[in-house]
Amino acid sequence: MRRRKTAIFFLIFGISLSALALALNVGWILLNIREVALLVLGMIFFALIITGIVLNTIFLVREVRKSEQHDAFLNSVTHELKTPIASIRLYLETLKTRDVSPEKQQEFYDVMLADSDRLLNTVDQVLSASKTGETRSRYDVEELDIGGLLEDSASIVRSRYNLDPGSIRIAETEAELRVQGDSHELQTAFVNLLDNAVKYSPGGAKVSVRVKASPIRNRLDIFIKDNGVGMEATELKRVFKRFYRVPQADGMKVKGNGLGLFIVNSIIKKHGGSITADSKGAGRGSTFIVQLPKA
């Protein structure tokens, strides 16, 4: 009887000990799971916070850069508006207060006309850049001879900078190549590209323009190549961003507002085409390649 009691006691004792061990074990696992869970949760939160901080910093840096570009843009636009106005004012005052010979008067009128063109050009650029946001801006589509269009754009730029015909050469094409589009808009795009090619070639521009059937079917490639300042590979995409200007080398002071290529890009895109920039590096000239669908 005693033995049985002892056996029962030890059995219960054993079961209790086992239960305790089990409880301890389970408790230990549970506690650890909680810790592991806490650890995992902590890591996730930590990663989230770090990602948040990184994203926030990137966002801030971008905003600072944007605001710097906006400031630079405002400065250059204000300058571009003020300078021709000041110049026109000065000539008008001279004409009003002094006796000026008829030849000189003609010269003054020419300068004032050039200044007013410069004003109009700046205003046009700012207006088109704000219009490009509109998805449904109207444009008149017609079939255009691309050679003629390039020739017209080149003569606008030649007369803007008083250049001889050899400075912008347009290579002959075997056949008349035609595109479908708005002549006014496409001319704006090509004038901008040619203007840049001349503007960023400080030692005298040699610009060559070539039109070729693209390797891609039903497309045309237009190459506008200059011998100017060129650009590093990292800039090739950025130059199409609104307000973006490549930092200029010391001593170079080419004026601009960073809108030209942004406008060109949106016009070409609207015509179902694409534009890319290419350069072997700073100081080694640039080529802009416009691809448009054939008419």
The residue (of 40 and 233) whose beta carbon lies closer to ligand ADP is 233
The residue (of 112 and 261) whose beta carbon lies closer to ligand ADP is 261
The residue (of 112 and 239) whose beta carbon lies closer to ligand ADP is 239
With tokens 């190459």, the residue in question is 223
Please, what is the minimum distance in Å from the beta carbon of residue 263 to ligand ADP?
Answer: 8
Tell me if 73 sits within 8 A of 243, measured CB to CB: yes
Q: Does residue number 229 form part of the binding site for ligand ADP (CB under 6 A)?
A: yes
Q: Does residue number 84 form part of the binding site for ligand ADP (CB under 6 A)?
A: no
Please, what is the minimum distance in Å from the beta carbon of residue 283 to ligand ADP?
Answer: 10
The residue (of 125 and 183) whose beta carbon lies closer to ligand ADP is 125
Kindly compute the dihedral angle of the four CA atoms of residues 187, 171, 238, 266, in this order, to the nearest 10 degrees: 30
Burial label, 292 (beta-carbon count in 10 A; 0-12, 13-18, 19+): buried
From the list 26-34, 83-91, 183-191, 255-263, the region that binds ligand ADP by CB under 6 A is: 255-263
What's the one-letter identity of residue 197? A
Please, what is the minimum distance in Å from the beta carbon of residue 213 to ligand ADP?
Answer: 24
The whole-angstrom separation of Cα 191 and Cα 154 is: 7
The residue (of 190 and 262) whose beta carbon lies closer to ligand ADP is 262
From the list 141-149, 169-177, 258-266, 267-275, the region that binds ligand ADP by CB under 6 A is: 258-266
Q: Does residue number 153 form part of the binding site for ligand ADP (CB under 6 A)?
A: no
Q: Count of residues binding ligand ADP (CB under 6 A)? A: 20
The whole-angstrom separation of Cα 72 and Cα 242 is: 12
From the list 6-14, 57-65, 98-106, 244-252, the region that binds ligand ADP by CB under 6 A is: 244-252
The residue (of 100 and 246) whose beta carbon lies closer to ligand ADP is 246
Which residue in 197, 222, 267, 292 binds ligand ADP (CB under 6 A)? 197
Which residue in 262, 266, 271, 290 binds ligand ADP (CB under 6 A)? 262
Q: Does residue number 81 form part of the binding site for ligand ADP (CB under 6 A)?
A: no
From the list 6-14, 25-33, 129-137, 252-260, the region that binds ligand ADP by CB under 6 A is: 252-260
Q: Provide the token pair at 119.
A: 């004003």
Q: Does residue number 191 form part of the binding site for ligand ADP (CB under 6 A)?
A: no
Tell me if 199 sits within 8 A of 254, measured CB to CB: yes
Closest CA to 176 of 205, 209, 149, 153: 149
Which residue in 118, 158, 225, 245 binds ligand ADP (CB under 6 A)? 245
How far from chain centre, in Å, is Cα 213? 27
Residue ranges in contact with ligand ADP by CB under 6 A: 196-197, 200, 226, 228-231, 239, 244-246, 256-262, 286
